[in-house]
Structure 1
Amino acid sequence: MSHIIVLHGASSSGKSTIARALQKKIELPFWHISIDHLRDSGVLPLDRYRAAEFDWPSDRAAFFDGFHRSVAAYADAGNHLILEHILDTPGWVEQLQSLFRAHDVLFVAVHCPLPVLTERERRRGDRPLGSAERDNATIHIGRRYDLEVTSTDGTDLCVDAILATWRSGERRSEFSDAKN
């Protein structure tokens, strides 16, 4: 059984900052995995998607299906993971519940006040403006977490709360329900 810490929050909510700090402090070797890593490494032919040479809406489902399966394969091989994700598409949570069934999953909501979120998005400049606000308004609806943190409370406080909850072994999210 591997440990998987899922950080779920809107774009620009602070997931990456928390994940990097958590990875430095947690006592086991955890991989930090996100779509941004793939995007930034050049795995995706983004220039060709932007030039409309390829159709991202047509390819998106296969990309995320492969991403989810690859993350599960890392865990199935015995690797511990910190997964950043925006679960914004119907069926993704259920797919990950199934793929992660054999593992210990800590499901963490990462919140951020909307004015801070939109300012972070504007400063980043690598997202369509308004996507963070759209995510923020919808992605947490109906979700049940093991822990909820607010990134503006400070990275250290968020990391300490995640570590305490992870170490407690108590799980009550929809991921733990899927095991029953």
Structure 2
Amino acid sequence: MKTQMIVLNGGSSSGKTSIAQCLQAVLPGSWLSLSVDTFVDALPASLREGDAGIGFAPDGTVAVGAEFRRLEEAWIAGVVAMARAGARVVVDEVFLGGAESQARWLKAIGDDVEVLWVGVRCAAPVAAAREAGRGDRTAGMAAGQAEPVHEGVRYGFEVDTARSGPMECARLIAARTE
């Protein structure tokens, strides 16, 4: 079976979005790129604050509530449905709950969608420097997520963006797809 989805998991500012864009350039055929940021941006303003949605603490900690999880489940099901319908999809994710987050995706995917799970690692100081340069993230988020997002997650392949650029990472990932 051909790879239908590539799931890139890594902390904030680890380089997932840049890799996703490079994958679209190097992979044969057309690939959609969908990000957890796309999902968060689609939430109503009322869920980008408060206990029910997603909240960002001053130290960069991210907390999510019940309504966020409900809508996230629908989002995941929709992304998987696109892959089942024939779209090839690169998913740019942050598994805040490590293995528990991956389990939500695995439940939706079942056994009929071929997925390449990719860990996008980046040393916390490097990610923190990128975060500071971006100016659109809460300080502390990148360092705080650098390792926890990988806890217990099973990957088919891993890249380290502190050592390799996004195009090199994309080429390495593309070499592992069918």
Q: TM-score, normalised by structure 1?
A: 0.81
Q: Decide whether the 8 Å contact of 2:10 with 2:94 is kept in 1.
A: yes
The answer to whether 1:112 aligns with 2:122 is yes
Question: What is the match of residue 35 of structure 1?
Answer: 36
| Residue matched to 2:43 | 44
2-structure distance, mates of 1:6, 1:141? 16
How many pairs were matched up? 163
Report the alpha carbon displacement of residue 106 of structure 1 after superposing the two structures with TM.
0.4
Deviation at 1:50, TM superposition (A): 5.3
Distance 2:131 2:175 in 1: 30
Aligned to 1:158: 169
Post-superposition shift, 1:84?
Answer: 0.7
State the TM-score, normalizing by the size of structure 2.
Answer: 0.82
Which runs of 5 or more residues in structure 1 are unaligned? Answer: 168-180
State the shift of 1:128 in Å: 2.3
Q: Aligned partners of 1:123, 1:7: CA distance in 2, in Å?
A: 22
User: Sequence identity, in percent?
Assistant: 31
The code of the aligned residue for 1:154 comes to G
Q: Label 1:76 to 1:32 Cα distance change in 2 as closer, same or farther (>3 A).
A: same
Q: Distance in 1 between matches of 2:172 and 2:6?
A: 13
Moved more, 103-112 or 55-64: 55-64
Does structure 1 retain, via aligned residues, the 8 Å contact 2:26–2:171?
no
- CA-to-partner distance for each residue in 1:84-123, whole Å, 9 max, x for gaps? 1111236332221132221111011111121110111222
Query: Is residue 138 of structure 1 aligned with residue 148 of structure 2?
Result: yes
1:11 aligns with 2:12: yes
* Residue 75 (structure 1) aligned to one of 71, 83, 86: 83
**CA apart distance, 1:76:** 1.6
CA deviation after TM superposition for structure 1 residue 126, in Å: 2.7
| 1:97 counterpart (82, 95, 106) | 106
For 1:65, give the aligned amino acid.
Answer: E
Q: Hey, what's the Cα distance between the residues in 1 that align with 2:73 and 2:80?
A: 11
Secondary structure at the aligned position of 1:128 is classed as coil
What's the CA shift for 1:150? 1.1
Structure 1 75/126 Cα, relative in aligned 2: closer, same or farther at 3 Å?
same
Report the Cα distance in structure 1 between the residues aligned to 2:75 and 2:171, rounded to whole angstroms: 28
Alpha-carbon deviation of 1:51? 6.2
Name 1:86's counterpart in structure 2. 94
Q: Which residue of 2 aligns with 1:176?
A: none
Structure 2, unaligned stretches of length 5 or more? 54-64
One-letter amino acid matched to 1:93 = Q
Q: Match for 2:81: what amino acid?
A: A
Contact 2:13/2:127, CA 8 A, preserved across alignment = yes
